[in-house]
Amino acid sequence: MKAIIFDMDGVIIDSEPIHFEVERALLEELGGTFDREFHESLVGTVDELMWSTFREKFDLSIPLNEIIELKKERFLNNLSRVPLVDGVTNLMSSLHKEGYSLALASSNNRKSVDAIIEKFGLDKYLHYSISGDDVEHGKPNPEIFLTAAKNMNVDPSECLVIEDAGNGVKAAKAASMKCIGFKNHNSGNQDLSEADLIINSYDEINLGDLRALFNGEVHDE
């Protein structure tokens, strides 16, 4: 293990309730119908995929780029309500002190990613960050994780990803990376079964557990 790549929403920040709230209001305002189960299936994907799916499903007339800008603006307006996930900065600090390269790889847009990094002072831990705006193909495509590995000069097999969404876990495994599935109940009903280890809290793991994943010593029950 040489690098750890964190997803952002639901992994570093407990923001999915805000996303659901903003997206539901916007979707219904535009004439769509909110379906929680269908919505949860799109968690972890980029805005372009989510809203193009909604636009086609509900035959929305407003241009896609305008919808995405509205969503981006409304999420940023609610940034003050977004908390950190308990224990995440302790983990990041420990990993950083041990000399591991840390990255943030989020499907969220670049403006939101930068705002979160600044708000919580994450730049002191992170070696690299990448957003949904920086890739052509969003999760579950592995491009975002492979790009992060390339920019950190590490092999994908040397990377560990922490994800809360099924689409993110799929992307990590498609990139041939180890993956921890973080079971955040605020992220909805997510299939994390492909992860190498599933946790409910950062208190459940330590550095030895993470290293052991690369030796095949840790198995989710």
Write down the pLDDT at residue 215: 85
pLDDT in tens, 197-208: 999 999 999 999
DSSP-assigned letters across all residues of the chain: --EEEE-SBTTTB--HHHHHHHHHHHHHHTT----HHHHHTTTTS-HHHHHHHHHHHTT--S-HHHHHHHHHHHHHHTGGGPPBPTTHHHHHHHHHHTT-EEEEE-SS-HHHHHHHHHHHTGGGT-SEEE-GGG-SS-TTSTHHHHHHHHHTT--GGGEEEEESSHHHHHHHHHTT-EEEEE--GGG-S---TTSSEEES-GGG--HHHHHHHTTT-----
pLDDT in tens, 46-58: 899 999 999 999 9
Stretches where the chain sits below pLDDT 70 are 217-221
Domains by residue range for the chain, with CATH = 3-15+83-213 (3.40.50.1000), 16-80 (1.10.150.240)
Write down the pLDDT at residue 112: 94
Q: What is the pTM of this model?
A: 0.91
Write down the pLDDT at residue 220: 47
